Structure 1
Amino acid sequence: MASFEVKGGNKLNGEITPQGAKNEALQIICATLLTDQPMVIHNIPYIRDVNQLIELVQDMGVEVTKLKEGTYRFHAINVNLDYLASAQYQQKAASLRGSVMLLGPLLARFGRSRIPKPGGDKIGRRRLDTHFLGFQQLGAKFNYDIKTNIYDVDATQLQGTYMHLDEASVTGTANIIMTAVRAKGTTTLYHAACEPYIQQLCQMLVRMGAKIEGIGSNLLKIEGVDTLGGTEHTLLPDMIEIGSFIGLAAITGSELTIKNCRIDQLGLIPHMFQRLGIQMEFKKDDIYIPAQDHYEIDTFMDGSILTVADAPWPGFTPDLMSIVLVTATQAKGTVLVHQKMFESRLFFVDKLIDMGAQIILCDPHRATVNGLNKQIMLRGIRMTSPDIRAGVALLIAALSAEGTSIIDNIEQIDRGYQYIDQRLNALGAEIKRL
């Protein structure tokens, strides 16, 4: 288990470019299995989850060629379905939650697949019902072995249909879209997720020859086609990294420019951080954060305490709730953070309380933060990263704190953030990988 040793209290300065979007990368890499033609994907982040998925599709027989840093060619011309029965596949797929999105493309192209129950973050229940119910409505048949935790799926007779998803699951929507594009007939998908990553996936599939109407809405109409061709695709910058850097700049009083943000795809993210009192300027496609000694949390129009809550897109993304909470610890004012989607995601606040933050954990979903207004700084402690987003939130807290912090289990951070220690050290941070 690796650790970060973080010397806090430094003000950062300079420019930083966000990595390619992790969540989009996982969908797009899986989608390369839909065709026997070459696919070239740009801006792929070098992070553990993505690297593991690339390794997994390679093991399945996909020819993967690194053309340059961040750019890969995928050619799924000889996919070995027998590999899905191997112990190696079961072990690798079970350790990576994104592996569930291999199901849709494999079912669409080959009519069968199998997958172990995927792993991932320990942030609460993350059920797969939306994926599996969607597959079943398209005609797939499931067989689950409770002893081995293996799902065997037969989808030799996929047929388009109308379906109303039980929740606007991003990965569930992506999986169903990738299955429906090669099913017979028309699929109407209502209550679909419409995040920018889903829009990107749909636009890429259309360039490959898919027929999809309603992109960007929660109502999609998909006309199945027999084959799909190859294309090139560039991933969006990671909106979670962008939000993390905004929070980092504010809590450390740093002057940062975040480059190439695709501001048009960020939704409420800049606005929500502005409501925490953080100043920012939009310079073409860059976000400039000036150094601020203080920032004050807004209130609602009637003067009541601001509530920041997550919601399906175009609401505020749940992956930035941890960053909002940490950033608020040094603001002036009070905010209620309401994490609706995952009941364990706020359980890292005990570490922040040990660092001196004033936080009341109301229940598994809600925490009230009384900002310290930088009158009392957080103090360095030893702590453990429980998941990707909480891990980066703790790293941001450590960079703002007085003294030295040790963050254990940083493999969780490496799952979602590319060379984060090196990139922040280039701005003036002092992070040592142990």
Structure 2
Amino acid sequence: MSSAFEVRGGNRLKGEIIPQGAKNEALQIISAVMLTSEKVTIHNIPDIVDVNLLIELLGDAGVKVNRISRDKCEFQADDIDLAYLQGADFKKKSGRLRGSVMIAGPLLARFGKALIPKPGGDKIGRRRLDTHIIGFEKLGARFNYESDDNYFRLEAPGGLKGTYMLLDEPSVTGTANIVMAAVLAQGITTIYNAACEPYLQQLCKMLNSMGARITGVGSNLLTIEGVTSLGGCQHTMLPDMIEIGSFIGLAAMTQSELTIKNAGVESLGIIPEKFRSLGIQLEIRGNDIYIPSQESYEIQTFLDGSILTIADHPWPGFTPDLLSIVLVVATQAKGSVMIHQKMFESRLFFVDKLIDMGAQIVLCDPHRAVVIGLGRQHPLRGITMSSPDIRAGVSLLIAALSAEGKSTIQNIDQIDRGYQYIDERLRNLGADIKRV
């Protein structure tokens, strides 16, 4: 029986909160330790289910793992068990974890073979692997799909060769996987329409510190000059921008005064501006974000007076992971906004729960919802609900914290996959939340 959160809403929160290390960066960075036989030390690791599963998987595969503390770990991949990485236990374990796809690039580059599970993870629509597989093929790998156990088997017996490629979509995990494969390929690889998210910039910086030769970092055109081997390094992960956005939204919804410490503000891109466009006041103080307690906030319109639209877009556009948060926060604003979720076709399906709580939302189609802000005239009501994916789960949690009465959120394993000790950290700010 999975646990649930029981939340009594209506409390104003107060205090400081430190964001965890970035989940989406962690899955790439930890996979990259497979590229070298030397020791790699990683700092600011988030203590969450998806990341811990990946670390456990690497340990099973023969990587020496020394977890000095929950957020600091040493890895040394000098004695990898390749047989394990082709076997039944690996298939079973890696199939539970979408992030396990990220070790394919390093394994192909270093050992010439890898298995990739067909992706699992969220109920937010298809997660295609085409970008990964086509990229590996262009570098000279062969693949076949083993339908009986849902696996792609990749092999590069002659080693990988650098090449030019234009990605069909700027997939973050796809770009990361191809970059990790290309750093040890022979010759020069050029990747156009590459993702340029901060997480990917971090991966490239880490690889360069290990001896890789990657230029164009931060742009959508990456050039990678292959090297024969990589060395060890130390790497510190960025704070999680999705968590930071979640806390900004939480402060506004609950009329709380919060300070988000060590927020890595240089890497937040357009995120603060998008929350300001909902009328939320926030001040950047050095590397912290201060959100004052606000009685109300009003959604801006476009300059010609037309209704505001907030849509997701590859970096440096607005991340799709925060659209669920923005949607929830808009329910208590003054004014209306159209939320347009382009990338995933089922990510807005949690709005029925918000409508049950009393929010005014028109779901136009699987990709678009119009939120009519109630300006706090009618607080949301607490209900019992279930969390379909990580980001919707936290959005519903924010809604529950601002609602009148008691809410129960089931299936919170989805929330634990992406947010560490979230109930404990919220209680420290004065939230009435317990795990039951």
Q: Under TM normalisation by the shorter chain, which class is it?
A: over 0.9
Q: Match for residue 159 of structure 1?
A: 161
Q: Match for residue 71 of structure 1?
A: 72
Matched, 1:60 2:61: yes
Q: Match for residue 239 of structure 2?
A: 237
What is the 5 A alignment of 1:349-368?
Answer: 349-368=351-370
Note if contact 1:254-1:290 (Cα within 8 Å) is conserved in structure 2: yes
Q: Match for residue 302 of structure 1?
A: 304
Q: Match for residue 228 of structure 1?
A: 230
User: In the aligned structure 2, how far is the partner of 1:118 from the partner of 1:29?
Assistant: 18
Q: Tell me the TM-score normalized by structure 2.
A: 0.99
- State the secondary structure of the residue aligned to 2:109: helix
User: In the aligned structure 1, how far is the partner of 2:189 from the partner of 2:6?
Assistant: 51
User: In the aligned structure 1, how far is the partner of 2:398 from the partner of 2:288?
Assistant: 21
Q: Match for residue 311 of structure 1?
A: 313
User: In the aligned structure 2, how far is the partner of 1:62 from the partner of 1:236?
Assistant: 24
User: In the aligned structure 1, how far is the partner of 2:16 from the partner of 2:26?
Assistant: 24
Cα deviations across residues 43-85 of structure 1 (Å, max 9, x unaligned)?
Answer: 0000000000000010000011011230000111111011123
- State the secondary structure of the residue aligned to 1:371: strand
How big is the alpha-carbon RMSD for the aligned residues of Structure 1 and Structure 2?
0.6
Q: Match for residue 3 of structure 2?
A: 2
Q: Match for residue 85 of structure 1?
A: 86
Q: Match for residue 96 of structure 2?
A: 95
Q: Tell me the TM-score normalized by structure 1.
A: 0.99
Note if contact 2:19-2:243 (Cα within 8 Å) is conserved in structure 1: yes
Q: Match for residue 138 of structure 2?
A: 137
Unmatched 5+ stretches in structure 2:
none
Cα deviations across residues 302-338 of structure 1 (Å, max 9, x unaligned)?
Answer: 0000000000000000000000000000000000000
Q: 2:344 aligns with which of 339, 342, 367?
A: 342
Q: Match for residue 248 of structure 1?
A: 250
Cα deviations across residues 232-263 of structure 1 (Å, max 9, x unaligned)?
Answer: 00000000000000000000000000000111
Q: 2:270 aligns with which of 268, 271, 276?
A: 268
Matched, 1:179 2:181: yes
User: In the aligned structure 1, how far is the partner of 2:105 from the partner of 2:38?
Assistant: 18
- The 4+ residue runs of structure 1 with deviation greater than 4 A are none
Q: Match for residue 411 of structure 1?
A: 413
Structure 1 residue 118, shift from structure 2 partner: 2.3
What is the 5 A alignment of 1:317-336?
Answer: 317-336=319-338
Structure 1 residue 87, shift from structure 2 partner: 2.1
Percent of matched pairs sharing the same residue: 68
Q: 2:280 aligns with which of 278, 286, 292?
A: 278
Q: Match for residue 42 of structure 1?
A: 43
Structure 1 residue 92, shift from structure 2 partner: 1.1
Structure 1 residue 422, shift from structure 2 partner: 0.1
User: In the aligned structure 1, how far is the partner of 2:153 from the partner of 2:170?
Assistant: 25
Q: Match for residue 123 of structure 1?
A: 124
What is the 5 A alignment of 1:14-33?
Answer: 14-33=15-34
Note if contact 1:309-1:338 (Cα within 8 Å) is conserved in structure 2: yes
Q: 1:384 aligns with which of 376, 386, 405?
A: 386
Note if contact 1:240-1:320 (Cα within 8 Å) is conserved in structure 2: yes
- State the secondary structure of the residue aligned to 2:374: coil
User: In the aligned structure 2, how far is the partner of 1:237 from the partner of 1:334?
Assistant: 31
What is the 5 A alignment of 1:106-117?
Answer: 106-117=107-118
Structure 1 residue 151, shift from structure 2 partner: 1.2
Note if contact 1:93-1:118 (Cα within 8 Å) is conserved in structure 2: no
Structure 1 residue 88, shift from structure 2 partner: 1.8
Note if contact 1:84-1:115 (Cα within 8 Å) is conserved in structure 2: no
Note if contact 1:101-1:171 (Cα within 8 Å) is conserved in structure 2: yes
- State the secondary structure of the residue aligned to 2:354: helix
Tell me how many residue pairs correspond in the alignment. Answer: 434
User: In the aligned structure 2, how far is the partner of 1:114 from the partner of 1:286?
Assistant: 42
Note if contact 2:119-2:127 (Cα within 8 Å) is conserved in structure 1: no
User: In the aligned structure 2, how far is the partner of 1:418 from the partner of 1:148?
Assistant: 32
- State the secondary structure of the residue aligned to 2:83: helix
Cα deviations across residues 362-402 of structure 1 (Å, max 9, x unaligned)?
Answer: 00000000001011000000000000000000000000000
